[in-house]
Amino acid sequence: MASCTHVFQISGIKTQDKKRVLVQIIQQLGGKYIGGSVYQHDSTHLIIPQVLSSEKFLAACAAGKWVVTPEYVLDSFKNGSWLTEGPYEIAITTGVASSVYPVRQWREKVASGRVTGAFQGWRVLLMVQEPTRRAMFKRLLKAGRAKVYHSPPPTHASVTHVMAKPVTEDSKSHNAPCYPVSHIVQHLFGSNCVDMKFNITNDDPAETAEDSFVDVDLSKLETELRDYVIKQEGRPRLCLLEFLGYHDPYRPQSQATETDFSNVGSMIECGLFTEALDSIRSAIFPGLLPPAPYLVSLLEYAQQGNATSVFLRNLKQVMYNLLVTNPPWLAPSTVKKYFARVLQCPRCKTGLWPFLETAISYCLSSEVTCHPLPGPALPRLLHFHSDLLAFLLKLFQGELHSVTTGGFVLPEAAGVSQATASGSLLYGTFWTVWERSTLLSRAVKRLTQLLVQAVIEDYAERDERQKLYLADTLLDLLSVLVEFWCQQHFKLNQNLVEKGLKDLVEHFAVISQDVSPEVLVELVVRIRSTRLKLMMADAIFRSLCCRSGFTVGDEPLSFKKMVLSYIPALENLAQSPTGARLRTGPTSHSCTSQGTGCSARSSSVNETSTEKENIPRGLNRVNAAGETLLHRACKRNQVETVLQILSLPGTNVNIKDHAGWTPLHEACNHGSAACVEALLRHRPAPVLNNQVGGVSPLHDAVLNGHMDVAKMLLEHAGSVILQQNDGDGRTALDLVSATSQREELLHSAHVGDSALRNNSTEVLNLPLLEAGSSLLAHLIFSYQQERGLPGHAQPSDKSHSLGYTLLRALETHSHQAVTLGWTDQRAVRLVEDAETLLELGRGSYLGQVSLAVKECKGENTLFLMEILEDLKSRGEALVADL
């Protein structure tokens, strides 16, 4: 197609009317104009009036694209079709009479396949201080297929060129030749550019303004990302294929004649339960239901413990036949009422939930049942109650399937009154009318408690109960009710859904603190709902961190949070003493969901101890800015008070004030070197990559001229924190103008890197590290399934895909600039996730993985490292496509 072979950009044409004419002609001839203020790799032709020193021109040369004059388009219009480009190719006129075509040289090399770009094989360490120009040179080098690294380069990178502006002693210190950026032009044009005054620039402002209409529409992008998130949220998570054949709109609702069940009642009165059950078995058809009191009597007889295994097995078959022939989710409301009358305790008759709870409790040998049952637990009764649970799970799965496939509303022609999900058995079982706006109802809370008991029982390997797989059944039940409730509420109130899920998993994390990490990991692995698995893995991981003495932030879950907070947390799990018991109780867990709760609660407990006199005055007071005593002491460099606070158990060293500033931020901002040293020595260590408005502690120190503090941070964390950008895309080194100071900071970073490399690689608590690695691996997988970036489009559709549009926006704008003024936080998180993936591809972040974790040979940890490398490869592929 012509649109695939003629994709134009324009540079250097100042007259807007002339440019508009060219764009109209291109479109009339079947070409495409993509515009843009920077070079776009999808272009095939660049139109320029004469040789320029612009980014677009040099990038097109390096990529081997056609660079032609405007006459090519005008003459093609007169011809009625595209002409041959050769006569219109731009030439460089030198001092001699003839013209030379260095652009043609690279174009022919690329077209013949001899090279992929003018800079093929270059691995460039780009050291340009000004962020905008650094981004421009990066695009230019990548257009010629060079690999570009920021300083410091990854340890595995073999640099072939160092390009600097300005050239300094530091830029010459690397093991590669150092060139000024003008070497790019020299390489492209050779001796032909000696007399030319090339000063590489961006395209002029007038052209940028003219091309802005084809650039990314950021307000439209927010809407598209929000729609994508809503579509992701609305898709079914649990595939229940066994229910697909249940709905047959052509099947009459009743296929059986009236049946006389009076003899069944007589049999039950005479105690002939087996004969009564056999009569019912032979008379079950669609639309025909045996009287509910008869089934209730048979269930009561089964619960008394006198029934044979054959009777119990036949009763189970009758219940399943009823479900198959008369599914309540595809039947009149009278059928649902029928099942509600049957599925309740035969003696107490208090509803479906007590019936379900009693079956679970019996399998757990618990005495908490609505009425006493035969004991000790008989093997055949254990299996019968387990079968009842499986039956109820199947019923609830059917209702979920109907909701997710839209089958709850039946054709009126079938003579069936319309029903809604609010009238389902599942809703009536787990939520009262007053509880339906919360996921964590009384029944759901009790179900999670029973699940924890079942998990402990399952792993205790106790005789017959091990064969019941009770924990798996309850996990599936929890997945079904979570998906059911979320399906009902996400379209109306997404915030309500997020809060409901968070309340549920936080409750589970609290009540499961006595369960071993290995068991909790196995439980997460077996969760079928990706939505529930994601939230559960996150809550349990944060709980393990908190119980190990390491606090993670309470900001919403994001890919960036996993990379910047959770991956470094693995080191703390690895170094936790194996003999020490993990801290439990609400005090330790409160820091997983409350910003100030951990510090405040733990200190209030300490005030009742005999060491009350050692607690600093005002510890619990927070001023109007949200600053704790630790914040205020760091601002005033009161190191004795800081040490006193840090010695208290449960102190949250990363606590934030209302603006998001941590005590380390305050100490760095005010140059409180002694307090910074005390904070860095504390365990768990403070998080050094926390940013507020793009300002990290290192940025804070450098901006305020506290070089001693900045060097202290670098000697502690190494060069990895030099890779962080502020809101304007500047690293901490970009904020330092003096060459001597830059060298001092780089030296401190090298000292920190050496110290980290020399640290012990011994893992003190391999089981806990393995548990954390497994949780984090499942967290990443579930996050990609639930909230991942839009899928990659085919090459022909790439420029129109949402994912490519988002990545293009991030190539020319910072995350903060893209999302400025956005109100939908889900869309904001998607942009942040995309930026994190791109940064992984550029070699950022993974340097934070400690050597002990990297060299661990545990199966789960090795698998996690493979996942991170795969993510990095994905990021590299995305960066290469831009």
759 phi/psi in degrees, rounded to 5: -65, 160
Burial class (CB in 10 A: 0-12, 13-18, 19+), 94: middle
Q: What is the SS3 assignment for 810?
A: helix
Burial class (CB in 10 A: 0-12, 13-18, 19+), 616: middle
pLDDT of res. 583? 43
As a whole number, mean pLDDT of residues 862-873 equals 89
Q: What's the token pair of residue 55?
A: 């980014």
258 phi/psi in degrees, rounded to 5: -60, 135
pLDDT tens readout for residues 244-255: 555 444 344 444
pLDDT of res. 430? 92
Is-contact 53 198, C-beta < 8 A?
yes
Report domain extents, the chain: 2-115+203-214, 244-249+273-408+416-489
Q: What's the token pair of residue 360?
A: 């679970």
Q: What is the SS3 assignment for 62?
A: helix
Peptide bond connecting 376 to the previous residue in cis, omega within 30 degrees of 0:
yes
pLDDT tens readout for residues 485-538: 988 887 777 788 889 999 999 999 999 988 889 889 989 998 989 999 999 999
Range from 152-161, 633-642, 827-836 carrying the lowest mean pLDDT: 152-161
Q: What is the SS3 assignment for 17?
A: helix
As a whole number, mean pLDDT of residues 700-709 equals 91
In 612-731, where does DSSP find H-type helix? Answer: 629-635, 639-646, 663-669, 673-681, 697-703, 707-717
Distance of CA 72 to the CA centre of its chain: 49
Asked whether residue 267 carries a pLDDT value surpassing 80, the answer given is yes
Asked whether residue 213 carries a pLDDT value surpassing 50, the answer given is no
Q: What is the SS3 assignment for 553?
A: coil
67 phi/psi in degrees, rounded to 5: -120, 110
329 phi/psi in degrees, rounded to 5: -80, -10
Cα distance between residue 289 and residue 259, in whole Å: 9
148 phi/psi in degrees, rounded to 5: -120, 130
pLDDT of res. 269? 84
pLDDT of res. 556? 83
817 vs 8, more confident:
8
Bridge partner list, 92: 100
Asked whether residue 599 carries a pLDDT value surpassing 60, the answer given is no
* DSSP per-residue letters across 819-832: TTT---HHHHHHHH
Helices 802-812, 825-841: axis angle to 10 degrees equals: 70
Long-range contacts of 289-296 (CB under 8 A, 24+ apart): 289/322, 289/326, 289/335, 289/338, 290/261, 290/264, 291/261, 291/264, 291/265, 292/338, 292/341, 292/342, 294/261, 294/264, 294/265, 294/268, 295/342, 296/341, 296/342, 296/344, 296/346
Per-residue burial over 213-245, b if 16 or more Cβ lie within 10 Å, else e, is: eebbebeebbeebbebbeeebeeebbebeebee
Residue % of the chain over a pLDDT of 70 = 79
Q: What's the token pair of residue 285?
A: 């058809």
Is-contact 13 19, C-beta < 8 A?
yes
Q: pLDDT band for position 200 (50/70/90)? A: low
pLDDT of res. 99? 60
> Which residues, 6+ apart, have CB-to-CB distance to 313 below 8 Å?
none
Q: What's the token pair of residue 110?
A: 């690329």
Cα distance between residue 810 and residue 839, in whole Å: 11
Q: pLDDT band for position 862 (50/70/90)? A: very high
Query: Which of 206-215, 251-260, 635-644, 814-823 is most confident?
Result: 635-644
Q: pLDDT band for position 201 (50/70/90)? A: low
Bridge partner list, 147: 123
pLDDT of res. 420? 56
Residue with tokens 């090459």: 795
162 vs 233, more confident:
162
Q: What is the SS3 assignment for 139?
A: helix
pLDDT of res. 794? 43
CATH number of 2-115+203-214: 3.40.50.10190
Q: What's the token pair of residue 732?
A: 């901490």
In 423-525, where does DSSP find H-type helix? Answer: 425-430, 442-460, 470-489, 494-511, 517-525
Range from 79-83, 217-221, 328-332, 517-521 carrying the lowest mean pLDDT: 217-221
Cα distance between residue 628 and residue 859, in whole Å: 42
Half-sphere exposure of 783 (CA within 13 A, CB side): 22
609 vs 270, more confident:
270
Is-contact 574 550, C-beta < 8 A?
no
As a whole number, mean pLDDT of residues 94-99 equals 52
Q: Whole-number mean pLDDT of the chain? A: 79
Q: What's the token pair of residue 119?
A: 């800079």
As a whole number, mean pLDDT of residues 550-574 equals 80
The torsion region of residue 148 among left (phi > 0), alpha (psi -120 to 50) and beta comes to beta
758 vs 507, more confident:
507
Cα distance between residue 765 and residue 858, in whole Å: 11
Pairing state between β 161-165 and 123-128: parallel
Asked whether residue 26 carries a pLDDT value surpassing 50, the answer given is yes
pLDDT of res. 3? 47
Pairing state between β 7-10 and 32-33: parallel
Burial class (CB in 10 A: 0-12, 13-18, 19+), 199: exposed
Range from 197-206, 241-250, 703-712, 760-769 carrying the lowest mean pLDDT: 197-206
Is-contact 490 234, C-beta < 8 A?
yes
pLDDT of res. 1? 38
Order of strands, sheet of 7-10, starting from the edge strand that comes earlier in the sequence: 32-33, 7-10, 45-47, 66-68
Cα distance between residue 850 and residue 758, in whole Å: 11
Peptide bond connecting 236 to the previous residue in cis, omega within 30 degrees of 0:
no
Q: What is the SS3 assignment for 67?
A: strand
Bridge partner list, 385: none
* DSSP per-residue letters across 19-44: HHHHHHHHHHTT-EE---SS--TT-S
- What is the maximum span of the chain, computed from C-alpha positions, in angstroms? 120
Bridge partner list, 201: 54
Cα distance between residue 159 and residue 154, in whole Å: 10
350 vs 685, more confident:
350
Q: What's the token pair of residue 584?
A: 């439990």
pLDDT of res. 260? 66
**CB neighbourhood size of 796 (10 A):** 10
Number of H helices, E strands in the chain: 39, 10
Q: pLDDT band for position 191 (50/70/90)? A: low
pLDDT of res. 460? 64
Pairing state between β 92-93 and 99-100: antiparallel
Residue with tokens 């105690």: 271
Query: Which of 53-62, 303-312, 567-576, 859-868 is most confident?
Result: 859-868
pLDDT of res. 465? 47
Q: pLDDT band for position 76 (50/70/90)? A: very high
- Give the Å distances, CA to CA, from 545 to 649, 769, 779: 15, 10, 15
Asked whether residue 667 carries a pLDDT value surpassing 90, the answer given is yes
Q: What's the token pair of residue 856?
A: 């661990």
pLDDT of res. 244? 55
Residue with tokens 């990443």: 780
Range from 385-394, 443-452, 709-718, 781-790 carrying the lowest mean pLDDT: 781-790
Asked whether residue 236 carries a pLDDT value surpassing 80, the answer given is no
For the chain, how big is the Rg over CA atoms in Å? Answer: 34
Asked whether residue 453 carries a pLDDT value surpassing 50, the answer given is yes
847 vs 349, more confident:
349
183 vs 285, more confident:
183
Cα distance between residue 133 and residue 199, in whole Å: 12
For 178-222, the three-class secondary structure string (H helix, E strand, C coil) is EEECCHHHHHHHHHHHCCCCCCCECCCHHHHHHHHHHCCCHHHHH
In 304-407, where does DSSP find H-type helix? Answer: 309-325, 333-342, 352-363, 379-405
Nearest Cα residue to 128 out of 88, 75, 205, 182: 182
Q: What is the SS3 assignment for 8?
A: strand
Bridge partner list, 126: 163
Give ∠ CA 30-33-38 in degrees, rounded to 5: 160
Range from 471-480, 623-632, 820-829 carrying the lowest mean pLDDT: 820-829
pLDDT of res. 204? 44
> Which residues, 6+ apart, have CB-to-CB distance to 241 below 8 Å?
none
